Amino acid sequence: MPILLTSLILFLLTPLPGMASDTQDAAYAGGGTQTCLACHTQGPGPAVAGIFGTPHGQLGDARTPLAGEHGCETCHGPSAAHIRQPGEVRPPVRFGPEGDDVANPDTQNGVCLGCHQKDHVNWQGSTHDAEGVTCTSCHKIHDRDDPVRDHATQAETCFGCHLDKRTQANLPFRHAIREGDVACSSCHDPHGGKGPSMLARHSVNDTCYTCHAEKRGPFLVEHEPVQDDCTHCHAPHGSVNERMLKVRPPFLCQQCHVASRHIGTLYDSGRLASRNNRLIGNACANCHSQVHGSNHPAGNTFRR
Amino acid sequence: MKPEQPVHHGNPHPGRHHLGQWPGLLLSGLLMSVATWAAADEFGYPDAETETATPAGDTAEPRSGPTGSIEPGLLWLHGTDGKSGEYNGLQSDGFRGVLRFEFLDRADWRSGDTRYRKASGRDIGTGTGDLFAEIGEQGAYKLRFGFRQIEHVDRNDAISPFTGSAYNLTLPAGFNAADRSFYNDADLGVKRESISLYGERILDSRWTLITDISHETKQGDKPTAAGQGFRGSAIAIQPIDYSHTQVDLRLRSAETRLQWEMGYYFSHFDNDDQALTFQNPFFAAADPQQLALPPENAFHQFSINGGYLLSERTRLNAYAAWSRALQDEAFLPYTVDAGGFYNFGGPEPPLPRNSLDGQVDQANLHLGFVTRVTRRWRVEGQYRFEDRDNRTPNDVYRFLHYNGNADDNWGNHVNSRSRHTFELETRYRLRNRMKVAAGYQHQRTHRDTDLLEPHHHHNAMGVLETTSTLTNRSHMAREDEAWSEIRFPPARRLSTRIKISAGKRSVSSSSAYDLHNEDHDATAPAYLLDREHVQLEAAGTWQASDRAALSASWQNRREVYNNSAFGADRVDSDQLSLDLALNTGQPLSGNLFLALQHAESSQNSRNNGGDRNLPVSGRWSLTSEDTAYHAGFGIDWRPTGDDLEVGLDYTFMDTENAIRSVHQTTGSDHLPDTETRIHRFSLNAEVPVENRLTVVTGYQYQRYDSENWSWSEGYFDVLGFGWNSPNHSAHAVMLGVRLDF
């Protein structure tokens, strides 16, 4: 076992052959940004001047890519060959969602992480990293306004891949995602969260408590599934049922509570006709309104 | 006008690969045909092979100095109701002024001066607007002030008989629940307002200090239960006057190989009052009753998060946090109905303690690694540990039933949990964009509950005594899941992804689940039941050209609860989404989408005659089905280049909830389906009239039809609250002028 472990550690420490930059043998064009702008503002190349209105384009900040001697090539790689033959040779680091015509995701993201790793220490190993999502899959680097960084427009970017979430966010009972008051990043950290499902905080409940702190407790009377995981009962992306419940009450409650007396009663059309107070209105919550926890010394059935 | 998410125009991820297979093939084929037509040369799209993948951007450099825009407008609303204004603050008809603006003052990018000022305001006047102001020097510091409003309307058609002050609800003299004249109109909803201050100071090339402070107030009303059972139930209006303060401090360090961040997070929740007192409309109206409102609580967390680049091949990540949640608000008395219905039939017994002294400690640890064995082969693993240690004291309290029948004692349940999760996954990139991946996860969750169980017995003198025994109940859930995935391109512009995962959970318990000493022998909460699940996913994209893409995804999940004698026994869900994006550049672009989601869960139980001592009778089973159809399209039209812009969006949502049951003796039954249909249409235009002046106009229409038997008859009583299922046809017209400077 020690030999195996030592071998594994040594293996992990060794550099990967060919792992170094794809651009290491290429030559820089020189001339900084002006060389590129000759074509990429008025010329035939794609226009990119919007970047000068973004933090990336500020020469006064020595950390920015354009402040360095290589200008655009800081990110796009040494492009002397591209300058000589723009129609035939592409810059070595081409950005975009994973595909044939762009650099592989690791190369692309490696460029960004060269400066931004400190902001996104959990990126490696995140679901997005594993799935080959590139930074430019979501971010528009050359535009002054990056829609994914705006609460009001962020979800549009996320829905591009998470098609099912678009439908859920438009169900009758939902969070205010359509209005932009709640953004995907209100709960999730797309760069690698601390919790499951890339949640920004380390658990479902702690994420929910950032807005719903009144449900955190601790309470005298805890409702076990509530403190265990809000998603036992709620569908946070939207639901057909009121209060974003996974199943409408009283039937949701009866998936766990099946004991004697009214708890095990079948609430059917006959009881609807008689307007049974365990079925209409808020169903069980017509009496048991404190289901998220009660601090009342006589609140052991969540009625106080 | 408060913007809503438009149907998105163009696929923001033209290279993403999703295409549904099995149930969507027919529809996919139809849409592919449309996409093929859209991609044809005669439609004007360049051949993808000669087209650059980089989208066109700005051709002019941004102006330096103060720039921005201001857009005052007038909004007219008609046909609104609480649901139409649920989240946008537009729940009442009439005119209102709205404003949005943007401002940025930044020196020329070549100047070397990186100081800037910026501010923005959005939807000011709607009740759900926001304001931000930021100053900073790039590379040195950033200071941002924010103000946000979020309004959530619950109902604006409620009625309530209760009067009196906010936390002390009384009924009018001679109250008659069936008489509408005793009820008053009431609006229900909450409004959040938060102020925030974010600061970031870059100390040097290695250290950064970040401070994020916010304070939010949440005020309004919500419905709650004003009945104590067995004598009818009523809904009362509960005032909400919460405040929540959060402080997030982080110190960040960045070196070539090691990046880490140390943080402290503090959250404090406060409630304006701790009790709601009310009269029961059904009994002893003169005697008040009381329920506890959410108590003041606080949460502290210390964390450290870091990553280390072990080699070009391998990176390690770690996160550790320790948290403490506290709550020690003074207890309310057992009852304020000393001489009425809910009392002990004598002197009120003393509480075992004056406050809970609640304390929950949490510990979290995540360790992970990612390594590339070769350039094509990636392996990653994670270990997560979560511990919720509830250190709240156990005590015995009195069970206050009614009319002197304080017939039992009970011990508060103190629930704790610890969970270990191990994950290992590997991915291999084959040739021709083909990838295979597989993963395995093992999770062990140990939940335990401590409580003092009271026991009644007669002592040697024959006097009834109650003693308590500390009891621990524990459950160990072990869950394993394995998955595999393949991504492959069946054709040059077509790529697909297919994933299958399956898992099994087994739960062992220290004792039969017995929550309230009732007949629970054969049941447990669904998350403590054995379970098997299988999930299939298929997704893909057909990239007809760089300007036309068809994406689709399909998912099916089946969960079976194997040992469920009563309660949940099965959950099935399906999701299908199709998305056609056309981004032709100017003058026309748009997209079309269709989606179907269906979830079905089944459960079973039994009647037993309303008394725990009666024999079991009437087994029954029930199925709940939720179905949603969602469709829409969006078009952007710019007939004259960058000047005139017209956007048109339409979406349709149709949802249904169906409850079907079968009873052992009474047979099959079904409740009326609950249905909701929503049509949303919007037409927006921006018309430049001068160099920097643009007329901005828009029209939104929303038709909302719903039928929900919970509220459908507008019950004029203390339970129904007078509510109806929302139905409206709401119109909104906006006219504004944007001045760019």
d(CA A191, CA A135) in angstroms, rounded, equals 9
Contact B331 A272 (CB under 8 A): no
Contact A300 B601 (CB under 8 A): no
The DSSP secondary structure of B618-683, one letter per residue, reads: EEEEEEEEEEEEEEEEEEEE-TTTTS-EEEEEEEEEEEEEEEEEEETTTEEEEPPPEEEEEEEEEE
Q: How far is C-alpha A7 from the chain's CA centre?
A: 36
Q: How confident is the model at residue B50, as a pLDDT?
A: 29
Residues of A in contact with B52 (CB under 8 A): 46
Query: Which residues contact residue A1 at a Cβ distance below 8 angstroms, ignoring those fewer than 6 apart?
Result: none
Q: What angle do CA B517, B521, B526 make, to 5 degrees?
A: 100
d(CA A140, CA A162) in angstroms, rounded, equals 19
The two beta strands, B408-411 and B358-372, are unpaired
CA proximity to B363, closest of B327, B381, B390: B390
B672-719 confidence digits (pLDDT tens): 999 999 999 999 999 999 889 999 999 999 999 999 988 866 554 556
Phi-psi region at B143: left, alpha or beta (left = phi > 0; alpha = psi -120 to 50)? beta
- CB-based contact (8 Å) between B633 and chain A? no
- Rank A177-186, B54-63, B176-185 by mean pLDDT and report only the highest: A177-186
d(CA B337, CA B422) in angstroms, rounded, equals 53
Contact A144 B62 (CB under 8 A): yes
Q: How confident is the model at residue B207, as a pLDDT?
A: 96
Contact yes or no for B135/B105 (Cβ under 8 A): no
Task: Report whether pLDDT(B17) > 60.
Answer: no
Query: Which residues contact residue B68 at a Cβ distance below 8 angstroms, ignoring those fewer than 6 apart?
Result: B101, B102, B103, B104, B740, B741
B586-627 confidence digits (pLDDT tens): 688 898 999 999 999 999 888 764 445 556 677 899 999 999
Residues of B in contact with A248 (CB under 8 A): 624, 657, 659, 674
Contact A277 B3 (CB under 8 A): no
- Rank A102-111, B38-47, B550-559 by mean pLDDT and report only the highest: B550-559
Task: Report whether pLDDT(B229) > 50.
Answer: yes
Interface of A with B in 14-53 (CB under 8 A): 14-20, 41-42, 46-50, 52-53
Amino acid symbol at A214: E
d(CA B99, CA B122) in angstroms, rounded, equals 7
Element (H, E) at B199: strand B184-202
Contact yes or no for B700/B731 (Cβ under 8 A): yes
- CB-based contact (8 Å) between B417 and chain A? yes
d(CA A113, CA A91) in angstroms, rounded, equals 19
B81-119 confidence digits (pLDDT tens): 888 888 988 888 999 999 999 999 999 988 989 999 999
- CB-based contact (8 Å) between B561 and chain A? no
> Which of B5, B7, B274 has the most A C-beta neighbours within 10 Å, making it the best mutation to test the interface with A?
B5
Helix (H, G, I), strand (E, B) or coil at A143: coil
Q: How confident is the model at residue B484, as a pLDDT?
A: 98
Mean pLDDT, rounded, for B164-191? 84
Q: What angle do CA B322, B325, B331 make, to 5 degrees?
A: 160
Q: How confident is the model at residue B57, as a pLDDT?
A: 52
Contact A294 B59 (CB under 8 A): no
Interface of A with B in 229-288 (CB under 8 A): 229, 232, 239-242, 246-248, 251, 254-256, 258-266, 268-270, 272, 275, 277, 280-283, 285-288
- How close is the nearest chain B Cα to the Cα of A69, in Å? 14
B264-282 confidence digits (pLDDT tens): 999 999 999 999 998 877 7
Residue with tokens 């469709």: B631
d(CA B539, CA A161) in angstroms, rounded, equals 10
Look up residue B515 and give its DSSP letter.
Answer: S
CA proximity to B101, closest of B599, B536, B655, B739: B739
Mean pLDDT, rounded, for B343-372? 92
Mean pLDDT, rounded, for B390-406? 82
Phi-psi region at B84: left, alpha or beta (left = phi > 0; alpha = psi -120 to 50)? alpha
Q: How confident is the model at residue B29, as a pLDDT?
A: 40
Residues of B in contact with A98 (CB under 8 A): 15-16
- How close is the nearest chain B Cα to the Cα of A21, in Å? 10
Contact A42 B227 (CB under 8 A): no
Q: How confident is the model at residue A12, as a pLDDT?
A: 66
**Helix, strand, coil percentages for chain B (3-state, nearest 5):** 5, 60, 35
Contact B16 A219 (CB under 8 A): no
Q: How confident is the model at residue B461, as a pLDDT?
A: 76
Q: Counting Cβ atoms within 10 Å, is residue A100 exposed (0-12), middle (13-18) or buried (19+)?
A: exposed
Contact A282 B305 (CB under 8 A): no
| Side-by-side strand order, sheet with B163-165 | B163-165, B168-170, B275-279, B288-292
Task: Report whether pLDDT(B354) > 80.
Answer: yes
Q: How confident is the model at residue B423 (pLDDT cuts 50, 70, 90)?
A: very high
Look up residue B62 and give its two tokens: 């941004």
> Which of A207, A296, A301, A303 has the most B C-beta neighbours within 10 Å, making it the best mutation to test the interface with B?
A296
Residues of A in contact with B630 (CB under 8 A): 166-167, 170
Residues of A in contact with B669 (CB under 8 A): 266, 268-270
Contact yes or no for A81/A26 (Cβ under 8 A): yes
Phi-psi region at B669: left, alpha or beta (left = phi > 0; alpha = psi -120 to 50)? beta
Q: Where are the alpha helices (DSSP H) in chain A?
A: 2-13, 32-40, 73-76, 80-84, 105-116, 127-130, 135-138, 151-159, 163-168, 184-187, 204-209, 224-228, 269-273
Q: How far is C-alpha A181 from the chain's CA centre?
A: 16
Contact B225 A289 (CB under 8 A): yes
Q: How confident is the model at residue B516 (pLDDT cuts 50, 70, 90)?
A: very low
Look up residue B310 and give its two tokens: 């072990």
Contact yes or no for B328/B356 (Cβ under 8 A): yes
Task: Report whether pLDDT(B52) > 70.
Answer: no
d(CA B471, CA B461) in angstroms, rounded, equals 27
Mean pLDDT, rounded, for B336-359? 86
Q: How confident is the model at residue B492, as a pLDDT?
A: 81
Residues of A in contact with B671 (CB under 8 A): 268-269, 272
Amino acid symbol at B349: P
> Which of B191, B297, B445, B723 has the most A C-beta neighbours within 10 Å, making it the best mutation to test the interface with A?
B297
Give the residue from chain B lying closest to A41, CA to CA.
B59
Give the residue from chain A lying closest to B390, CA to CA.
A218
The DSSP secondary structure of B439-469, one letter per residue, reads: EEEEEEEEEEEEEEEEEEEE-TTS-EEEEEE
Over its length of 304 residues, how does chain A's per-residue pLDDT go in tens digits?
Answer: 777 777 777 766 676 654 444 555 578 888 888 888 888 876 566 668 888 889 999 999 999 998 888 899 999 999 999 988 888 888 999 898 777 678 888 899 999 999 999 899 999 999 999 998 999 999 999 888 899 999 889 999 999 899 999 999 999 999 999 998 999 999 999 999 888 899 999 899 999 999 999 999 999 999 999 999 999 999 999 999 999 999 999 999 998 887 666 888 899 999 998 888 888 888 999 889 999 999 999 998 898 8
The beta-carbon neighbor of A248 closest among B306, B657, B711 is B657
Contact A255 B110 (CB under 8 A): no
Give the residue from chain B lying closest to A209, CA to CA.
B267
Give the residue from chain A lying closest to B224, CA to CA.
A289
> Which of A241, A286, A291 has the most B C-beta neighbours within 10 Å, making it the best mutation to test the interface with B?
A286
Count how many residues are written for chain B. Answer: 741
- CB-based contact (8 Å) between A209 and chain B? yes
Interface predicted TM-score (ipTM) of this complex, two decimals: 0.92
